[in-house]
Amino acid sequence: MIRPADDPPPSAPGGVRTRAGDALTTVDLAAKAALITALRRDRLAGRCDVDDPTELVAVTRPGRPERPELVAPRALAKRSVHTPDGRVALIHAVAHIEANAVNLALDAVHRFGDLPDAYYDDWLQVAAEEARHFALLRDRLVDLGAAYGDLPAHDGLWAAAVRTADDPLRRMALVPRVLEARGLDVTPDMIERLRSVGDDATVAVLEVILRDEVGHVAIGTRWFRWLCDARGLDPATTFRRLLTEEGVRLVAPFNDEARRAAGFEPGEYAPT
């Protein structure tokens, strides 16, 4: 039977956290994005409540394609924007970051329970925006005669999910407020280097990503501080303690304007 155009498609089974886990384990990245879109649609329409999954996805096994090959960071070639191959390598590296960021956002929804509904809505929004970023970069690779998976990549971003799987406070501190915040620092330089060689198409994509990532880091900051308040912890002291425990060093230069917009306090991210 053909449904009228204004008749919404049937909802998938399960609640928000269960369906986020289903998307997390989906290998095909286009199918993963479609599941995220459907979940957000149902959530916004009031057809999907926050649930407790009967079983959590193994944090070591997100759904992702067999390629790219994952190697140690030191095995990756340096990326110069002054050659076509160098630009492809740079775009591929950022696309891999965005593909991992989709899974990280889904995992933040799926893994952590007993949080306000707004937490799950925030991270579903992040998942949808990260999926859009990946699609823009994937299409840019195609424009340049390449494809995601053509080059090797490293697994440092997802390794952070494994290290922080036991505690949402640790996750909020060390993923959005360290790893994603670093993107705020380095993306403007990438934009300027690409603009200098006339790659305005890639610049436009990175400008979209930079704008959205400010909001993603702000979401991480909001929920980090909410969790600190719920546990009676001082956010600044706790953030520094977690950096020390993880052996994380914050290194200048910093994008002060973007970090302030993302909710960082002055002096909070001074080099460690």
> Does some domain include residue 5?
no
Q: Report the C-alpha gap between 168 and 202 in whole angstroms.
A: 34
Is-contact 206 258, C-beta < 8 A? no
Range of the domain at 110: 16-48+77-261
DSSP 8: P
For residues 35-57, one letter each, b for 16 or more C-beta atoms within 10 angstroms of the residue's C-beta and e for the rest, the string is bbebbbebbeeeebebeebeebb
Tokens of 195: 């603009």
Long-range Cβ contacts of 198-206 (<8 Å, 24+ apart):
199/81, 199/87, 201/140, 201/143, 202/87, 202/91, 202/140, 205/133, 205/136, 205/137, 205/140, 206/94
- The answer to whether residue 111 sits within a structural domain is yes
Please check whether residue 57 lies inside any domain of the structure: no
Binned average pLDDT, 10 residues per bin, the chain of 272 residues: 38 88 96 96 95 93 90 79 94 96 98 98 98 98 97 89 96 96 96 96 98 98 98 96 93 94 88 68
For residue 56, being part of any structural domain is answered with no
Q: Are 271 and 250 in contact (CB under 8 A)?
A: yes
The answer to whether position 112 is within a domain reads yes
Closest CA to 148 of 201, 94, 103: 94
Quote the pLDDT of residue 200.
97
Residue 58 lies in a domain: no
Q: What is the CATH number of the domain that holds 237?
A: 1.20.1260
**What's the CA gap between 212 and 96, in Å, rounded?**
17
Model confidence, pTM: 0.93
Q: For residue 72, is it within any domain? A: no
Residue 214 in domain: yes
Query: In the chain, how many domains are there?
Result: 1
235 vs 203: CA distance, rounded Å: 35
